[in-house]
Amino acid sequence: MKESHKLELLPPKINYTLLVKEISEANRILGSLTGLLANIPNQSLLISPLLTKEAVASSKIEGTQATIEEVLKYEAEGKSSQKDSKEQDIREIINYRTAIQTAIKLLRKRPIGENFIKELHSILLDSVRGANKDKGHFRKVPVYIGKPGATIENAIYIPPAASAIQELVSNWEKYVNSNNEPDILVQVAIAHYQFEAIHPFLDGNGRIGRLLIPIILYEKGVLSYPILYLSEYFERNRVDYYSYLRKVDKENDWESWIKYFLKSIKEQSLDTKAKVEKMLEIYKSVKEKLSGFNSQYAIQLLDIIFENPVTSFRNIKSKIKSKSYQTIYNLLSKFEEEYILIEITGGRRNKIYVFEELMKIIR
């Protein structure tokens, strides 16, 4: 029978001379993104739609089929109009987003480590497929990774034995919290591979590993806010993503994996910067229109629809301080007249509104 992978402890020996160009480029381009973000007073306005996009992309790698529109509409309705399988997909995506939001808060209380990742895992698998797979606990049994229907004999990868997980995670935790690696982006690339290779949980390892990337960069001070998400790049280049991870398993080829990871940092930094610039343009353009609305709640509504580009009257009413339904309806009518919002339900009650200009950017 095939044996489980004997994973070496971190840090590995990396030939930095092979990576000089890639490290320089990735750090330079990421720096241009962080420079842009430094001048934005309310970064949380931007992170909300981009975070939902990341949750959709990361979950899609694992096989979910829900789109970002379906997720946002599901939340706006406050109920499901989806079939069971699609609702499960949506709930998994929402859980992923909640896990990242929780991770940001947890960093104020504790370092990234065993308890940290176990808490995120509990959130990720809460009330969804895989919830029966010992959420919040490391696996106690052997597992293997392969194509559907594969046996252990033709598995693509067999993670370390359950008995090795504690030592490997402790070593991973020590490495993540160290400052000994010459470059932080390389450190995160190594940490991501190692987490996926340990495969500490029965389910959800890929998603936890991917959501930790921006969290570690944020904790290390590389990002002023965890707004750089790589899952979209990994999803577009899924074959390469898994191929380079496996090259480390089989050939100890760290350098090829790190080059691929640095390329993903570079590409997603450029993509995120372009999206943020467009979002800022839209915010400024709409805000200028609002000066003629003669409403003290207009800016507040703009902020609401930036965070929730598909939203409901119910949601808006809960967030705007005005107690007058008519005041809010009048304001929404003005937003529709200026084509800022589109009402998509056509009914008189439980109306759903879409901020189409923003949706075009995050689809």
Q: Is 199 an annotated catalytic residue?
A: yes
Annotated binding site, which residues?
62, 199, 203-210, 241-242
**Cα distance between residue 45 and residue 284, in whole Å:** 13
- What is the residue-wise DSSP string for 12-44? PP--GGGTHHHHHHHHHHHHHHHHHHHT-S-TH
Report helix angle 114-124 to 205-219, nearest 10: 130
CB distance 191 to 181 below 8 Å: no
Residue 269, classified by CB atoms within 10 Å of its CB into exposed (0-12), middle (13-18) or buried (19+), is buried
The single residue of 5, 121, 192, 199 carrying the catalytic annotation is 199
DSSP 102-140: HHHHHTTTS-SSHHHHHHHHHHHTTTSTTTTTTTTS---
Burial class (CB in 10 A: 0-12, 13-18, 19+), 63: exposed
- Pairing status of strand 342-343 against strand 310-312: unpaired
Distance, CA of 162 to CA of 138 (rounded, Å) = 8
Q: How far apart are CA 281 and CA 361, in angstroms?
A: 12
Residue stretches of the annotated binding site for ATP: 62, 199, 203-210, 241-242
d(CA 165, CA 344): 50
Positions marked active-site: 199
